[in-house]
Structures are given as C-alpha cells and as structure tokens.
Structure 1
Amino acid sequence: MAKEYDIAYTTLERWYYLMTAEDVKARIRSAKRICIDEFALRKGHYYAIAALDADTGQVLYIETGRNKETVESVLNVIGQKAQTIITDTAAFMAKAIRTVMPKAEHVLDRFHLIQFCTEALRRRRKYLIEAKSHFKSRFIDRCLSIPPEDLTEEEQGFVRDWLEEDWHTKALYYFLQHVRFVLKSTQPVQAKRRFDELIQRFSFHNCGAVAKIIKTYIQRYQAFLDTITSSYSNGIMEGTNNKIKLIKRRGYGYRNEQNLFHRICLETGPHEFW
C-alpha cells in the first residue's frame, strides 16, 4: 500500500497504530474475566506481563516487568469491571490481586496445582532402581504423573512395584490422586469439605515434600476453593504465549516495544477491526 500510494511506510505504520489504538482500549473497558501471565521478551531474564480476556482470547494490555508492582499496574489499567482473575501460583501475583482488587475472585490454574505434585514425584524418582536408565526415567515420569485409569494393566503393575520400593514415592503418588479427587468437586460445599479433609489428612505428613505442598495450598486456601468450582483456567493464556512467540519471531528486531505489544493485542482474539 505504501508503494501504491507513494507514502513512506513509517508514516503508514504510524497511522495504522493510531487508528487501531481506540479499538484496543474499548476491549479493555469491557473485560470481566482476565487471565494474567508472564512471557519472555528476549533472552537475559527480560519479561513482560500480559493480561488476556478469558472469554474472547484477546490480549488486552502488556507491560514490561515481572514483579508485584508490574501486576498492580496492569490490574489498575484493565481491572475496572473485572470479576475474576486467573493466574498461575506465583506469590507476587496473589499479593498484587489482594492489594488492587481484594473483592475479585482469584482462580489458580489447575495445571500448576497438579504440577506441584508431579514435579515432587519427578525429583523423588531418581531414588528408584530402574531410574538409572534415561529411557526408563521418562517412562517412570509418565506412569507416575497420569491418572491410574489411563494406564495399561502392565503399566499399573510397574507403578505398584515402584510404590512398594520407595515409601516417599508412594506417599506423593497417593497425595496426587487425592488432589485430583478434590479438584473433581462440582459444588462449593462439596469442594470445601473435600479440601478440608485433604488438609487435615496431609498437613503433618511424615513425607516432607507432601507437607510442603499442602502448606502452599493452605496459603492459597480461598483461591484453591474458587479454582475447584470455576470453569475457567489459564490454559488459553498458555496457548496465546505460543502465538506471541510466533509474532516475536516474525517481527525479529522490533525496536519499538509498544508497537510490538500493540501488534500482539491486535492479532489475538476476535478481529472486528479488520
């Protein structure tokens, strides 16, 4: 278009971003359920926080940084009508939400809640005899992390042998299944009863890893309960992070971060502007 109308492409670019700015701002004002996550802008621990509309998949706002102050700044911009905030289990995000939007429902990503247990199992796996082989290690990780009903009879037999071999692995494995059982609750009363039973059973467990995980859950008690009964998760944000990587790769060498952020906002979610 710049060549056809004999206009400098930089001028056309400036007009484009000015014209679409209002469209992005209008979407920010209407968001009620928001996902927040960080992504790497470039190598060297240089991150940005992105806020996404959980209903439409539209990235609403991005700000550089990876701390409590950055999340607070993002919430102040897009959180006027927000009723639900979905994040991972990072402590600084929880603190920022309590500071800026104490009345909003804070939902944690289920994947990260389960990941506490699966990562503990992965670290403990090295004490198993069969874990000496690299191939066997990956097989053990898979069998211990997925639900028992999804395993074949042969794989279930392997799991039984590993649990008999190491007591700590057995404790972590049954704790993981109990957490999955709690997350299957459908009613608030049922969720609270099951979560309280989980806390009562494992709070002072002899396995240090289990006790540490349950302590983390207790610190996020209300957020955990909201997560159980909520239909929202941070999964849509993880998919959007992959799209952001593609946009960064296509725009390699971007010198203007604000234009990059603007481009990300325009290329995610519905495209009424086009």
Structure 2
Amino acid sequence: MTDNNLDLPFWEGFRVWNFDRRDDGTWISLVPTDTAPMICSGCEQSCSQVHETYWRTIRDMPMLGDSVWLQVNLRRLRCDSCGTRTERVKWLDRHARITQRLAQFVGLWCEKLPVAHVCKLSGLHWETVRKIDRQRLEGKLAELPDAQPIRLVMDEFALFKGHRYATVVLDADTRRVLWVGEGRSREAIRVFFEWLGPARCADIQAVAMDMNTAFDLEVQLHCPNARVVYDLFHVIAKYGREVIDRVRVDEANRLKGDLPMRRVVKRARWLLLRNRSNVPADQQPKLDELLAANEALMTVYIMKASLKELWQAASAWDWRDAWRAWLKMAHDSNIESLQRFAKKLKSYWRGILARVRWPMHTGQLEGINNRIKVMKRMAYGYRDSAFFFLKIKAAYPGNP
C-alpha cells in the first residue's frame, strides 16, 4: 500500500511512504517530510546541503502482535563544521538499528524479567537485548556519585558449581554495592583496592568480614587506618562445624554399644546447632535430655553461648575478662576439638575485640547474597560474569 500523505506522530520528521504486511511482520517505509529541518548529528546545527540519501532497516515496537520493521530514508549532510555527517533523528540514536522507544521498552522489562523472556516480548535476538540492557546498566551506574566509603562489608557467594566464588564489597553506610569480582583470593580482591585508590583506602575506618585470611591481609595492606571486624554469624558457624559436629560424631562413635542413645546423638545435629531460643517447644525436652546425658555435648553447647557473649561486651575491659574466661574454660574442657578451635581463634582476637568499637556485621550483605541467588535462578544462570556483576551493582545503587 502506498500513501504519500500519511504523517504520524510516532516518527517525528518523517511520513509513511509505503506500508506492507509480510510473513515476518509489518514493513513501513518512511521518508523525510518537506518541512523537517536537516540537523547535523555531530554539532547539531542546521544544514542546507544533502550529500546523499540511503535506506536503513530499523526495528520498532511490535504492534498488534506483529513485528514492525521500518525502512527509513536517511540523509547524509554536508556540514560546514563536521564535514559529511548523517542527519540527527530525534527518535533514533546514531548508527542504531532499533528505535529509542523499543530500546526503552527493552530496558524497562530487563529490570524485571530475564533476558530470554524479554526476547520473546520484543522479538529481538538475545545478544541485542543483552547489549541494550548492558548499555542501560552502564548508564545507570555512570550517573551515580563517586563513592566515598568509610565502612565496608566484604563477603563471598557461590558463582558457579564446583567451588567457584565471587566477592562482593558493600558500603556499610549507604548499602551501595561498590564492587563485585570473580574469586576470593588476595589477587582477586586486590583489584577492588586498586580501583578505590590510596586516598579513599586511607579513609576506611572499619571492614566487616568472615575469618577470611585473604580479605584480612589485603585490608591491612591497602587500608592502614582500618580495623577488621569479624562477623559473629561466621564464627559461630565455624564453631558448629569444627567443634559441635566433631564432638557429636566422636560421642556417637563412643556409644556403639548403646544403639538407642547413639541414634539420638547422631540425629541431633540441627538441634545442637540451633540457639536455644529458636528450638521449637516440642523439641526443648529432647535437647535438655540429650545435654543432661552427655557431658561433652553439654560443654560445647554452653561454650557456644559463651562465645556469642564476646560480641555483646559493653567495653574493651569487659571483653578482655570474658575472652580470658572463655579461653580458660576451653583449655580446661579436655575436649580436643574445642581446644584446637580456641587456639586457632587466638590469632583473630583483634577482629573480635573491634566489634566493641565498631558494631558491624555482614548481615546486610547476606541479604543481598540471597537476592543474588534469586537473580541467578530467574535467569537460569549467566554466561557472562561481567554482565551479571553489572546487574548486581545496578540493583543496589545505595541510599541517597
């Protein structure tokens, strides 16, 4: 169909010259209107001379379930300042093969849906959608102010199966994800501190983390004024694995002659790892009976509660008294795994004491890590880690 007088507001400066329905969608030919000004795409000044005209095929928003293809007659202008340049079109970016309207539509839905789903909605190729989304994410991050963190939180999350991890760094005050990188070694996280630079590193006062030696050493190397703060949750989780689990297995092996009691001890793992306040009411008698019948399990269970109190000390002096008392009880317990854990914990005392001055934890980042897992499940994983990391940073731009 041909109509030389059809002028629509969708494509400013152009009119419909031809309209055709095909198997692969709707094809619309556009030509410049006689009144449309010719503007240089370089200097954005008005031009009067046309060097040549050419056709470009462009995708636009689907209409009534049909893909829309535009064949646009564009002009290359002779600009006094820029030389030969393509004319500026308000609804089309330079060199673009899709309209700004379609790009905005794709970007909007990429905030809520996986790339594969947006492909079905828009009819665009996966790589095209990902490119649009990447440009949107990079633009969003570029608009953020320069980060000036004072306190940091560092943690890791599983990137792929097979013990492959990534590290996340969070501004503890603004909740902005500053950096995400693959790996958890010193070499992997050193990139963050190099990006932060010596001046901003010197401003860091405290960093919350688990007992990851790589994190600790890099903070000491790059942030001379920072105190490392060890997270209670990770220490208690380590205590559960290395002490409570070990004692439970040892006691189960010792009770080979008492099969009913051995079965109770073997099945009590989650009961022993829980805080007493979180134990269901119907399980409380079972826990009390188990602890009363086994002295070793009673000891390590009580020592776990005492260990948590180190993070509740009101002053450094209170902490020192509680720390010395805990170490002495661990030494006098004659439980090998507990003594071994206490000996290992001695070298981390500064990071535990720092909690008195800096009441920080990695709980903020644990919540973000859970959101990251949801993002991975929604997208059925990401082939491109850098693109995934952009998604994470854009999802947590921080509080104003």
2:247–2:337: 8 Å Cα contact kept in structure 1? no
**Map of 2:247 onto structure 1:** 124
Distance 2:313 2:156 in 1: 29
One-letter code aligned to 1:23: E
Larger relative strand fraction: 2
Query: What is the TM-score when the length of structure 1 is the normalising length?
Result: 0.82
* Structure 1 counterpart of 2:163: 45
CA distance in 2, matches of 1:95, 1:172: 30
Q: CA shift at 1:205, angstroms?
A: 4.1
Residue 11 of structure 1, CA deviation:
5.9
What's the counterpart of residue 97 of structure 1?
A: 219
- The 1:229–1:146 alpha-carbon spacing in structure 2 relative to 1, beyond 3 Å, is farther
What is the CA–CA distance in structure 2 between the aligned matches of 1:233 and 1:106, rounded to whole Å?
11
Residue among 141, 152, 164 paired with 2:269 = 141
Report the residue type matching 1:247 in the other structure.
Answer: M
SS at match of 1:51: strand
Q: What is the CA distance between 1:269 and its match in structure 2?
A: 4.8
Comparing 113-122 with 214-223, greater Cα deviation is found at 113-122
- Report the AA paired with residue 74 of structure 1: F
User: CA offsets per residue over residues 130-167 of structure 1, 9 Å max, x none?
Assistant: 4526xx855x3344334446668875554444334333
Distance 2:358 2:220 in 1: 19
Find the residue that maps to 2:143 and give its secondary structure.
helix
Aligned residues: 266
Moved segments of 4+, more than 4 Å? 8-11, 147-157
1:99 partner letter: L
Higher RCO structure, 1 or 2 (CA under 8 Å, sep 6+): 1
- Aligned-pair identity in percent equals 21
1:55 and 2:173 are equivalent in the alignment: yes
Q: Structure 1 residues 188 and 251 mapped into 2: Cα distance closer, same or farther (>3 Å)? A: same
> Which residue in 1 is equivalent to 2:207?
85
Structure 1 unaligned blocks of 5 or more: none
Distance across 2 between alignment mates of 1:202 and 1:14: 53
Aligned residues of 1:171 and 1:210 also touching (Cα < 8 A): no
The structure whose residues are more often helix, as a share, is 1
User: Which residue of the partner structure matches residue 182 of structure 2?
Assistant: 64
Aligned partner of residue 153 in structure 2, secondary structure:
strand
| Deviation per residue, 1:168-194 (Å, 9 max, x gap) | 223212211221233321222211221
Find the aligned partners of 1:153 and 1:52 in 2 and give their Cα distance. Answer: 38
- Give me the TM-score of the superposition, normalised by structure 2: 0.58
**1:20 and 2:140 matched:** yes
Which deviates further from its counterpart, 153-162 or 12-21?
153-162
How far off its partner does 1:214 sit? 1.0
